[in-house]
Homo-oligomer: A and B are copies of this chain.
Amino acid sequence: MELFYAYEVSGRYCRLDAEESGHCVRVLRHRSGDEIDIIDGVGTLYHCRLTLDSPKGAEAEILEAQEGFGSHPYHLTVGCCPTKNNERFEWFVEKATELGVDRIVPLIGDHSERKVYKTERASRIALSATKQSLKARIPEIAEPVSVKDFIKSCHSERSEESLRLIAYCFEDEEAPRRSIMEVLKEMPGRPGQNITVLIGPEGDFSPEEARLALESGYIPIHLGPSRLRTETAAVTAVEAVYLWSLTL
Report A's interface with B, CB cutoff 8 A.
Answer: 70, 72, 91, 95, 98-100, 132-135, 179-182, 185, 224-229, 232, 235-236, 239-240, 242-247
Closest to A236 in B: B239
Which residue of B72, B132, B232 is within 8 Å of A95 (Cβ)?
A: B232
**CB-based closest 3 A-B pairs:** A239-B239, A179-B246, A181-B246
A239 and B181 alpha carbons, distance in the complex (Å): 12
Q: Min CB distance, A240 to chain B, in Å?
A: 6
Q: How near does chain B come to A189, taking the closest CB pair, in angstroms?
A: 13
Which of chain B's residues have a CB closer than 8 A to the CB of A72? Answer: 225-226
Residues of B within 8 A of A228 (CB): 98-99, 133
The answer to whether A229 and B99 touch across the interface, beta carbons within 8 angstroms, is: no
In the complex, the answer to whether B226 meets A100 with C-beta atoms within 8 Å is yes
Q: Among B180, B185, B232, B243, point to the contact of A99 (Cβ < 8 A).
A: B232
Using CB atoms, name the residue of chain B closest to A222.
B246
Residues of B within 8 A of A247 (CB): 179, 181-182, 185
Q: B residues within 8 A CB of A226?
A: 70, 72, 98-100, 133, 135, 242
A136 to chain B, nearest CB (A): 13
Cα A240 to Cα B247 in complex, Å, equals 12
B240 touches A224 (CB 8 A): no
Please determine whether B224 and A243 come into contact, CB atoms closer than 8 angstroms.
yes
Cα(A236)–Cα(B98), bound, Å = 11
Q: Which residue of B lies closest to A233 (CB)?
A: B98
The CA-CA distance from A240 to B241 in the complex, in Å, is 11
A239 to B224, CA, bound (A): 11
Give min CB distance, A169 to chain B, whole Å: 12
Is B98 a contact of A246 with CB atoms below 8 Å? no
| Docked CA distance A182–B244 (Å) | 10
Q: A98-B226, A99-B232, A132-B229 are in contact. Are A243 and B242 (CB under 8 A)?
A: no
